[in-house]
Amino acid sequence: MKKVAIQGVQGAFHDIAAREYFSDIKIDLVECITFEELFATIQNGGCDYGMVAVENSVAGILSHNYFLLNEYSFKIVGEHYLRIVQNLIALPGSSLESLKEVRSHPIALRQCHKFLNALREKGIRIVESEDTALAAKSIAENKLYGIAAVAGELAATIYGLDVLERGIESNERNFTRFLVVENNANEIQPKDYTDSSYDKASISFTLSHEPGMLCGVLQVFQSYGLNMTMIQSTPLPGKEWEYKFFVDLVFSEMESLSGALDNVAKLVHSFTITGLYQKGETSMQPSV
C-alpha cells in the first residue's frame, strides 16, 4: 500500500484524482488542508506520493503551486486529468429556497460563477472555504441547515448530503490537471531512460536579461519537433523582475528530447529536468 498526500479531505477532487490514477494499487490517503502542508508532508517522509492540482481549464494556472514546486526538489512522475463536475449539495430535506449561504473552495466557486451569480442576486451569501469536501463535511457534522456546499458527488455520498443541483459548473469542458510528485532529488537525464512509454517532460530554467533569450529557447524546441504544452513564469525571491520559467514538453522520441535539452542547457541558467513521465489523457476529446 502506498501513502498518497492530497489537498483536502476524503471526497475532494484530489481524492478522486488519486483513486483514478492509482486505480491498480491500494492507497492510503493522507489528508492535508493546505498545499503547504501537502508539500511539507512529502518532504518529511509522511507519504510516498503527492497529488497536486496545477491547472484548471476554466480557472487557469494555480500559480502558488509552482512556487512550491520551485521551493521543493520533488520529482514529477505522472499527471492526471480529471473532468470536474460541480454540484450544489446540502443536508437532506434542504431546497434552493431554504438556502442562505453557499460554501466552497475559491477555485470551485469561480468555476460555477454563472450559477452562483444567480443565487447571489437572491441574497444568498457565497463564502470561500479551504476545500470543497471540507465544506461538505462541516455542513454534515454540524447539521448546518440553510447552508450548501459546491463539491463533487463523492463528497455528497460520503457525508450523507443531498444533491440539490447537478453539473452547476459554467463550462462543461472543465478539467483539472494534477501532477503526481515524489520526494526524489536525483538528477534526471533523458539519456538514462529507455522506457518508450515516456512522452512528456517538465523542465525549469532561468534566463539572462538579454533580448531574444526566450525566443532562442523556443526555437530549439521547434527545431527538434517538441510540442510545448505549457509555459509558466514565477518571480525569483530576492531578485526583482527576474523569473523562473516552467515548461511542459510533449515528444515522440527520447533522442529528440535529449538533443533539444542539451542545446537549451547552453542558453539558460539553473536548468532542471523535474519530470519524465507518460502524458495524461482527458475523457473528452477537444472541440473541432
Q: List the CATH number of the domain containing 160.
A: 3.40.190.10
**pLDDT tens-place string over residues 97-148:** 999 999 999 999 999 999 999 999 999 999 999 999 999 999 999 999 999 9
pLDDT at 12: 94
Query: Hey, what's the cell of 12?
Result: 475532494
pLDDT at 193: 65
Contacts with 196 (C-beta within 8 Å, 6 or more apart), sequence order: 254
Q: How many residues does the chain have?
A: 288
pLDDT at 102: 98
- Check which CATH number belongs to the domain holding 229 and give it: 3.30.70.260
Domain coverage including residue 146? 87-165
Task: Considering only residues 271 and 187, tell me which one the structure prediction assigns the higher pLDDT.
Answer: 271
Domain boundary among 128, 151, 184: 184
Cα–Cα distance between 179 and 186 in angstroms, integer? 18
**pLDDT tens-place string over residues 42-96:** 999 989 999 999 999 888 889 899 989 988 889 999 999 999 999 999 999 999 9
